[in-house]
Amino acid sequence: MSQNTAARRGRGRRPAAEVRAGVLAAAGHILLAEGLRAVTFDRVATEAGSSKMTLYKWWPSPGALAAEAYFTQSDRTLQFPDTGDLRTDLITQLSSFIRWLTDEGAAKPVSELVGASQTDPDLAHAWSNSYALPRRELARVRLRTAQEQGQLRRDADLDIIVDQLWGACYHRLLVLKVPFDDTLAERLVDQALHGATPHTT
Amino acid sequence: MSQNTAARRGRGRRPAAEVRAGVLAAAGHILLAEGLRAVTFDRVATEAGSSKMTLYKWWPSPGALAAEAYFTQSDRTLQFPDTGDLRTDLITQLSSFIRWLTDEGAAKPVSELVGASQTDPDLAHAWSNSYALPRRELARVRLRTAQEQGQLRRDADLDIIVDQLWGACYHRLLVLKVPFDDTLAERLVDQALHGATPHTT
């Protein structure tokens, strides 16, 4: 639903789910285009054609709204494919994530959201529950399928693999602040699958 | 040098390196005890027995001072051992890092420093240059030695290993916000060394 359509329909007539979706879409657009600071209840209410009271009722803070909006925006881009070949699927998903951060401009809002979540408990709660933990669960599901198919060892530690693949990207983005490159997804996946010790030992 | 000693000596007599070390020690103590917000030029100057002018001259912002102070504080704890056995040394270093975050209380100041560095360019610059990149270089040196000794494959990707070991810890601390546990260091190292695919393929 475009922002204009939302605005034209006026207030108080739409089902709650539709209003909520409209608010999240508007907040997501503002977040990706202008960054976290631009996501205020005033601005989002205006762009979504909703009342500010509605936003106050549903979200404890603009930061919490922004975190949930980020999940909605990224969901389409960051799906986990299942072609039956784990290596290919992990490279596809990580490449999408890296493109999303770099070419599609999510690096700034993601940095701002994770950064602010270190000192804003409402945002931290929304980030963990709306984004980080559900996304880890999607990764686990894909890895578990591969494990059942014998593509990962029976005793492979799926949570550690998640930490090592996506954690590596966040490490570069947030901690080292070094650029990503085109070979990163493949190098991460191959190191996670095959390890670093000589194959003969 | 204790804070009292520094204060007693008064101003303008000590060599610059000594003053600088005293300021960094004072800032580090305040950071670890009370968090990033408590690290102000006023407070640090008072506790270090230095003039505020000196601090303004050497650091562009209290955040930049805090980042450098963090490196000084953590240096002693986060040394890279070299016993000749890479697996043992990596587990030792990562266990120290995890204990430093949990038992020694660094989780909060580290989260605050990395969080604030997402929107504070002076702090970001100091964090990268005083802490994150030098620490990555120390890890690379230890990994390179192991590679020369045949404990890592010739084509092992050392930067990826760094991302996967320490990045995993930051992922849990900053992004997932899940607790660390006592087995984490060992699980991270074994997964990095041996990978997740069945050994027979």
b/e burial code for range A125-140 (CB count within 10 A of at least 16 → b): bbbbebbbeebbeebb
- For residue B135, which of A164, A84, A175 has the smallest C-alpha distance? A175
Find the angle CA(B178)-CA(B182)-CA(B187) to the nearest 5 degrees.
Answer: 85
User: How far from chain centre, in Å, is Cα B117?
Assistant: 14
pLDDT value for B75:
81
Contacts of A92 (CB under 8 A, 6+ apart): A81
Confidence tier at A6 by pLDDT (50, 70, 90):
very low
Question: Are B40 and B62 within 8 A, CB to CB?
Answer: yes
Distance CA A36, CA A44 (A): 12
Q: For A70-93, how does the pLDDT look when each residue is reduced to its tens digit (9 = 90+)?
A: 988 888 778 889 999 999 999 999
Nearest residue in chain A measured CA to CA from B192: A195
**pLDDT score for A162:** 97
Please name the residues between 158 and 197 in chain A that touch chain B, using a CB distance below 8 Å. Answer: 160-161, 163-164, 166-172, 174-177, 187-188, 191-197
Nearest to B114 among A172, A174, A188 (CB): A174
CATH 1.10.357.10 residue ranges in chain B? 77-194
CATH architecture of B77-194: Orthogonal Bundle (1.10)
Per-residue confidence (pLDDT) for residue B10, from 0 to 100: 53
| B167 → closest Cβ in A111, A132, A171 | A171
pLDDT of residue B12: 53
Those of residues 39-68 in B touching chain A at CB distance below 8 A are: none
pLDDT at B69: 93
Nearest CB among A111, A119, A198 relative to B153 is that of A198
Average pLDDT (A34-59) is 95
What's the pLDDT tens digit per position in B55-87? 999 999 999 999 999 988 888 778 889 999 999
Judge: B157–A187 Cβ closer than 8 Å, yes or no.
yes
Every domain range in chain B assigned CATH 1.10.10.60: 3-58
Q: B3-58, superfamily in CATH?
A: Homeodomain-like (1.10.10.60)
For residue B48, which of B21, B68, B17, B73 has the smallest C-alpha distance?
A: B21
Q: Is the pLDDT of residue A103 over 60?
A: yes
Nearest CA in chain B to A171: B167
pLDDT bin (cut points 50, 70, 90) of residue A1 is very low
> What is the DSSP secondary structure assignment for residue B128, as one 8-state letter?
I
Chain B partners within 8 Å of A191 (Cβ): 156-157, 160-161, 164, 192, 195
Average pLDDT over residues A152-178: 96
Residues of A in contact with B192 (CB under 8 A): 164, 191, 195-196
The pLDDT of residue B113 is: 95
Pick the closest to residue B9 from B42, B48, B59 (CA basis).
B48
For residue A200, the model assigns a pLDDT of 54
Q: Mean pLDDT, consecutive 10-residue segments, chain B of 201 residues?
A: 49 81 96 95 97 94 94 84 96 95 93 95 90 93 96 95 97 94 95 88 43
Q: Do A152 and B198 touch (CB under 8 A)?
A: yes
A118 lies within 8 A of chain B by CB: yes
CATH architecture, domain defined by A75-194 = Orthogonal Bundle (1.10)
Say what the ipTM of the complex is: 0.88
- As annotated, the residues of chain A forming the CATH 1.10.357.10 domain(s) are 75-194
> Which residues of B fall within a CB distance of 8 Å from A168?
160, 163-164, 167-168
Size of interface A-B (CB pairs under 8 A): 163
Whole-number pLDDT of residue B6: 47
